[in-house]
Structure formats: structure tokens, C-alpha cells
A = this chain, B = another copy of it.
Amino acid sequence: MSKPYVLGIDIGGTNTVFGIVDARGTVIASGAIKTKTHPVFEDYIDELHQEAVKLIEANDATDKIGGIGVGAPNANYYTGRIENAANLIWKGELPLARSLADRFGIPVAVTNDANAAAIGEMTYGAARGMRDFVMITLGTGVGSGIVSNGQMIYGADGLAGELGHVIIRRGGRLCGCGRCGCLETYCSATGVVRTALEYLDASPSVPSLLRNIPGADLTSKDVYEAAIQGDPIAQSVFEFTGRVLGEALADFAAATSPEAFILFGGLAKSGELLFKPIREAFDKNALSFHRGKIKILVSELKEADAAVLGASALGWDAMRAAATNSEINS
């Protein structure tokens, strides 16, 4: 009999969230650990394993997990490895699927965290019924998952959908990937903070609520809250962030002509503060036949759930693939 649950794991630059998910897409229970605590990758996997096992035992789900699906930065669907992720502290190639399969003794499948979110959105969220859309995740970095003809685009090497590393300002800000001007240096949570610090610096005489916060402690949430309170510098930060993102979406539209862009992550919850400049810049920069036509939507999934649900969908795949292999070999 096939097992009733899968484990979905979302590995972000800062937090790792995991959840037990049933066949209807309900997250039964979830937990989280910090991603950056362990300098050694296998130590991190050990902690993730221990915490997930605690969650599984607390929910009476031992022996009920049939597969594990993981969304992680630069995780390769084909190889099962994380490959040179700019936003993780471990460098090189990390045997993510194998390390987890060794610990749990359960089949594992992995993909890019943004692809996982896109699969979640397609199955349970704003992209239900859509065959062509682009998921944009605005977190520590900017990720993306491109769905065309109803299929996730993995590319020849399993690493497609890195729209956060499209160069939107040539010779612009230095990115974690070692290149300059990537979209994610402007439109991620950290990009918002960089813009805020630049603006504060450039206009020392303009009063701002943000001046009460030490630069090193400033977060995109602080900038959001100041903007909501009418702070002019914080408002121009969102104006700029939205404009850059709208320009980028206009270019992405020229490529795959999606029905919708779906924005996901903390920043995507900024409402009109972000969406108004995005739409304005999109309509100003898009090809005439895309203007006012391509939807720009907020994710309909709870932030934690989207990635976990998307990852969990891969867990079912892993379970089915293992069952098929076992039949073939028996």
C-alpha cells in the first residue's frame, strides 16, 4: 500500500522550512531550522534530519512518509545536487538528494526552490489551470520558475529559470553570483535594503524614519513599514524596486509570453506600494501586444506553504519512481 504522506522541504538562504503533506495538499504539520548555522553541509543535513524526524514522530507519521521533495537554490532536478548556489554558505556541488536519502531511507527528488513554488502555485494556487506562467520569488534572492505548455522548464542541464540573474543594469550592483547588475541585487529583500542605504546616503538632508535604524540592522520590512507611514525615502525605494522589476518582467514577457507573472515572498505582500510601479514600468516597457494584457498577480498560497507544497509534489514523484523501480527489480 502506498504511504499517505510526503515530506516537503524548502531550503532558503536564511531558513529551511519542512512539512508533512497529505495527498490532498494539506500541510499536516511543519517545522523550520536556520540554514546558515552549520559551516559543514552534512552537519546541516543531520540537523534537518533530526528536526524532521521529531516532527514526523510528534505527528504519528513514522513509516507513513512515502517520498521527500526538496526545493533549494540551484538544486538540479536531473542530478539531485545543489550546484554552486550563490546564496548558500556551502560552495561547490552538494549531494542533496543522496544525503537526504541516506539519512531518511526514503526516495528523494529535488528542484530549484522557485520551481518548487511554481509547481505548488500551479497545483493549489493562483496558477491553477494556467499552462503558461512565470513564478517570481522575492526572498533573500530573486528566483523564478517558468512553466510553458503546462510543463516546468528545467533546461538542458536542469538549471533553467534563473531570472534573478538576468542582468538588468549592466555594470550595476555586485551580486552574490560574482557578476554585476543582476535583477536580484535590486528586487530581492536585500536589494531593497541596498537601495534604501544608497538613497539615505545620497540625500543626507532628507529626514527619514529609516535613519533611526543602524544600517546593518535595516530590513526590507523596516523599509516597508516606513513607506506605509509616508516616509518619502522609503516610498521612493519601493517606487524604484517596482520600476526595475516591471522593466524586467517586460523583457521576460518577450521571451515566453506567459498568461501571468505570479509574485511570491515577503516583498510580494507589499501591495500597491510595489505593484503600482511594477505595472507602470511593465506597461511602459513591454511590447505593445503585452501591455495591460499579461496578469501580474500575488501568490495565493501562504508563504511557507507554497514552497513546501511545491516540493511535496516532487515527493510523490519520487515515491512513484521508487515503486516502479522496485517492481522492475523484483
Contact (Cβ within 8 A) A257 B154: yes
A132 to chain B, nearest CB (A): 4
How many whole Å from A217's CB to the nearest CB in chain B? 31
Find chain B residues with CB under 8 A from A163 CB.
254-255
- Residue pair A257, B287 in contact (C-beta under 8 Å): no
Closest B residue to A160 using CB positions: B257
As for how many copies of this chain the complex holds, the number is 2
Closest A-B pairs by Cβ, 10 of them: A155-B257, A156-B259, A160-B257, A132-B156, A162-B254, A166-B251, A148-B153, A165-B254, A159-B257, A160-B256
- A211: Cβ under 8 A from any B Cβ: no
CB-CB contacts below 8 Å: A245-262 with B: 247, 250-252, 254-259
Minimum distance in angstroms from A210 CB to a CB of chain B: 27
Among B133, B166, B256, the residue within 8 A (CB) of A254 is B166
Task: Evaluate contact between A153 and B162: CB separation under 8 angstroms.
Answer: no
Contact of A177 among B161, B177, B288 (CB under 8 A): B288
Contact with B along A139-181 (1 / 0, CB 8 A): 0000000101101011111111111011101100000011100
Distance from A327 Cβ to chain B, minimum over Cβ atoms (Å): 26
CB A171 to nearest CB in B, in angstroms, measures 11
**A178 and B288 within 8 A (CB):** yes
From B153, B160, B250, A167 is in contact (CB under 8 Å) with B250
Shortest CB distance A101–B (Å): 23
Does A231 reach chain B (CB closer than 8 Å)?
no
A49 at the interface (CB under 8 A from B): no
